[in-house]
């Protein structure tokens, strides 16, 4: 399935922020979600053999050790919130509204199965209880070009609907990759860090929440502000920050501007 997806792009750069963390509607559970029966038995069978999910929230309640969850939440706190790349991010982070699902998928088909499971789990819950899920896949080693042509194409609503018809018009995704590169930018342009992550991360959010965020008008100009802020921060500071995500003690953070 991953090879069949087409790399179509319709999402503006600024919208990545909205989909990343959505609104401040919280996630109260610390035990994680378990999906309803999958509408695609073939992919689910592959997932049961090749990957598994450990789901946790950003709540302060004590949880089993999960270094991938910790790195993912550091990324949200230090990069997304610390650099003010998303005006919607800080409140759900502080209130424990962000869920991290750690996938052990080794290939895109296995990760697609995990994404499907989390889509079903998200819709099985009330929107008052579940806001967003970050599916982290640290073992997936796809280069960015292949990733963009496969999983990354799910950002297009038509491609997503083809892959997951049961969730069309209800869930949308934004995909993050350690080597993300915007078209027309050099590899070492710091603006690429707008969608770079410590490892592959697929974010799931209810379409209704994205529409509500856009309706507030707070998404206008996000892309331009992020570009200016990241260029002012500079490539070396961004590289240092991302290297520090894998350590509990952060390096000196770039100043907010």
In a domain, residue 256? The reply is: no
What are the pLDDT digits (tens) for 99-120?
889 999 999 999 999 999 999 9
What are the pLDDT digits (tens) for 62-73?
556 789 999 999
Structure-model confidence comparison of residues 137 and 46, the more confident one? 137
DSSP 143-179: -HHHHHHTGGGGGSHHHHHHH-GGGTTTEEEEEE-TT
In a domain, residue 70? The reply is: yes
Question: What's the average model confidence in pLDDT over 81-96?
Answer: 81
| Average pLDDT value over all residues in the chain | 76
14-53 as b/e, with b when 16 or more CB fall inside 10 Å? Answer: bbbbbbbbbbebbbebbebbebeebebeebbebbeebbeb
When divided into structural domains, the chain yields a total of 1
Question: What's the average model confidence in pLDDT over 162-190?
Answer: 94
In a domain, residue 222? The reply is: yes
Question: What's the average model confidence in pLDDT over 165-182?
Answer: 94
Confidence category of residue 121, pLDDT binned at 50, 70, 90 = confident
In a domain, residue 22? The reply is: yes
Domain, as residue range, for 30: 11-246
What whole-number distance in Å separates Cα of residue 152 and Cα of residue 186?
Answer: 19
Q: How many Cβ atoms from other residues are within 10 Å of residue 143's Cβ?
A: 10
* pLDDT number for residue 97: 76
* pLDDT number for residue 57: 56
In a domain, residue 223? The reply is: yes
Q: How many Cβ atoms from other residues are within 10 Å of residue 202's Cβ?
A: 27
In a domain, residue 5? The reply is: no
In a domain, residue 203? The reply is: yes
* Bridge partner residues of 201 (DSSP): 136, 176
Confidence category of residue 164, pLDDT binned at 50, 70, 90 = very high
In a domain, residue 84? The reply is: yes
């Amino acid at each position: 399935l991953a090879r069949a997806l087409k790399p179509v792009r319709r999402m503006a750069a600024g919208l990545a922020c909205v989909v990343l963390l959505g609104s401040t509607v919280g996630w109260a559970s610390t035990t994680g979600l378990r999906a309803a029966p999958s509408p695609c038995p073939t992919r689910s069978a592959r997932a049961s053999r090749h990957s598994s999910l450990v789901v946790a929230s950003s709540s302060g309640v004590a949880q089993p050790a999960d270094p991938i969850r910790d790195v993912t939440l550091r990324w949200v706190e230090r990069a997304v919130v610390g650099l003010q790349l998303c005006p919607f991010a800080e409140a759900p982070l502080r209130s424990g509204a962000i869920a991290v699902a750690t996938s052990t998928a080794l290939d895109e088909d296995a990760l697609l199965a995990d994404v499907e499971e989390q889509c079903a789990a998200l819709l099985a819950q009330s929107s008052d209880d579940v806001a967003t899920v970050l599916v982290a896949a640290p073992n997936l080693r796809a280069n960015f070009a292949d990733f963009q042509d496969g999983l990354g194409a799910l950002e297009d609503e038509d491609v997503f609907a083809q892959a997951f018809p049961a969730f069309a018009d209800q869930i949308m995704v934004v995909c993050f990759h350690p080597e993300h590169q915007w078209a027309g930018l050099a590899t070492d342009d710091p603006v690429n860090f707008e969608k770079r992550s410590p490892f592959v991360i697929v974010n799931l959010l209810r379409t209704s929440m994205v529409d509500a965020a856009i309706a507030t008008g707070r998404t206008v100009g996000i892309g331009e502000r992020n570009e200016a802020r990241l260029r002012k921060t500079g490539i070396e500071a961004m590289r240092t920050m991302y290297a520090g995500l894998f350590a509990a003690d952060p390096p000196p953070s770039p100043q907010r501007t």
